[in-house]
Structure 1
């Protein structure tokens, strides 16, 4: 299984205003992002504590659902 980060990088689009694309664009520059993780709780906790670039955890939840739907 690919990591959530690897999935998220497929959503990058610097010209898009889509919230998931913006999340991906910002996560790309986050050197501490848990890049190998496939664990919801680990990534969620990291984002809540460290990702000031993420305006709403709902964006992460939507991206996580897409990730799960595309990896199973």
Structure 2
């Protein structure tokens, strides 16, 4: 079974973010409504589009998602 995208993303969390994925991970961590148990691209993508308080563009999510798919393969 896959781990959730959120669980994967948390390995990029950092107190001093070095890059866009770290900033995205920190924002997801701070977001109490983030779909933490989801493995579904469309569900997470829709959530991010509706909740526009994330610091970077959807391109960062797409980059992180690709890393997620590779790591879970």
Q: Which range, TM-score by smaller chain?
A: over 0.9
The CA RMSD over aligned residues, in Å, is 0.9
**3-state secondary structure, aligned to 1:10:** helix
SS, match of residue 45 in structure 2: helix
Q: Establish whether residue 11 from structure 1 lines up as the match of residue 12 from structure 2.
A: yes
Gaps of 5+ in 2: none
Aligned to 1:50: 51
Structure 1 segments of 4 or more deviating over 3 A? Answer: none
SS in 2 for 1:65: helix
Partner of 2:70: 69
* Aligned 8 A contact 1:3 1:36 in 2: yes
When normalised by structure 1's length, the TM-score is 0.94
The CA deviation at 1:8 is: 0.5
Unaligned runs of 5+ in 1: none
Does the Cα contact within 8 Å between 2:48 and 2:54 map onto a contact in 1? no
TM-score normalized with structure 2 length = 0.92
